[in-house]
Amino acid sequence: MNESTSIRRVRHPEKAKRPDNPIQRKPAWIRVKAPVSKEYNETRELMRGLNLTTVCEEAACPNIGECWAKKHATMMIMGEICTRACAFCNVSTGKPNALDPFEPVNVATAVKTLGLSHVVITSVDRDDLKDGGAQHFADVITAIREATPTTTIEILTPDFLKKPGALEIVVAAKPDVFNHNLETVPKLYPTVRPGARYYHSLRLLERVKELDPSMFTKSGLMVGLGEERDEVLQVMDDMRVADIDFITVGQYLQPTVKHHALHRFVTPDEFAIIERQAYAKGFLMVSASPLTRSSHHAGEDFAKLKAARERARA
């Protein structure tokens, strides 16, 4: 073992003592091809050259081949180490490094180089920072606006739990879409998302609308964790009370044997039913399928979201 291998950071030290949960074989509708395209490699090299992290890689997204081939990448700011230890997530947990002051400009450069008309910016949780990283989010939004004024910006934020004033900083920077994922139903929060609070996350999204009624809000759920259908419907109702415009629903895929166990694979037909039920509850936009992720097809979905609002107003 060489020195670099011996000191390599363990990805999930907080999960090491958990019992193993065997990983189930994926059904045919989940399997995707390995990324091999020229465009994929060009996107990868650009991210490396600008010292940027993507949630596509860190969260082991199954859609990375498709998105990077189109030169679409969801950039993950504030480092690659999260202060939370969610049982579903493949992002590393530990003590984060200091914020990179050049990151806002580097993100804006990548957006301009890729020629993105719509970009998604997410982050790790930074409970170690006084504002949870709110000002850094605002700085990234500002840098993108300066570099490519016509690019629309979607953010996928942490919950800013116990960070007074943080949400207001981000909303004041005026992203086009404010996304924060509820992830699962309330009863599963203690095991799936132990560092978060369901009603705080819901209130965060409701507060966005109070601060700026024109801003689109978005949230997502994973299914297959052990939730019941009625519980999913109740979360949808809660989201609509909070005036959330857009819901995404996708299949939970267990990253390793140390992560939360997969309860079951939800069939495409069941996702189609979920989509119909969500539209019936009044969401402007719904994306529900086994491979749906928060930022998958985000640009196309944003155009549909705007059109849906115009139709509703008309």
Cβ atoms of 292 and 67 closer than 8 Å = no
The predicted structure's pLDDT at residue 7: 39
The predicted structure's pLDDT at residue 67: 62
The predicted structure's pLDDT at residue 1: 37
To the nearest 10 degrees (0 to 180), the angle between helices 229-241 and 198-211 is 30
- Spatial CB neighbours of 9, under 8 Å, sequence gap ≥ 6: 92, 94
DSSP state for residue 183 in the 8-state scheme = B
The predicted structure's pLDDT at residue 18: 83
Tokens standing for residue 194: 């132990």
Q: How far is CA 176 from the centre of its chain?
A: 15
Low-confidence ranges of the chain (pLDDT < 50): 1-8
The predicted structure's pLDDT at residue 35: 58
Residue 83, Cβ neighbours under 10 Å: how many? 17
Cβ atoms of 82 and 91 closer than 8 Å = yes
The predicted structure's pLDDT at residue 8: 43
CA distance 179 to 284: 14
CA distance 61 to 29: 15
With tokens 């990805």, the residue in question is 11
Entry pTM: 0.88
DSSP state for residue 9 in the 8-state scheme = P
User: Beta 152-156 vs 177-179: how paired, if at all?
Assistant: parallel
Cβ atoms of 110 and 47 closer than 8 Å = yes
Cβ atoms of 96 and 82 closer than 8 Å = yes
Q: What is the dihedral of CA 277, 282, 287, 290, to 10 degrees?
A: -20
Q: What average pLDDT does the chain have?
A: 88
The predicted structure's pLDDT at residue 65: 57
The predicted structure's pLDDT at residue 55: 58
The predicted structure's pLDDT at residue 15: 78
Closest by CA to 289, choosing from 308, 311, 271, is: 271
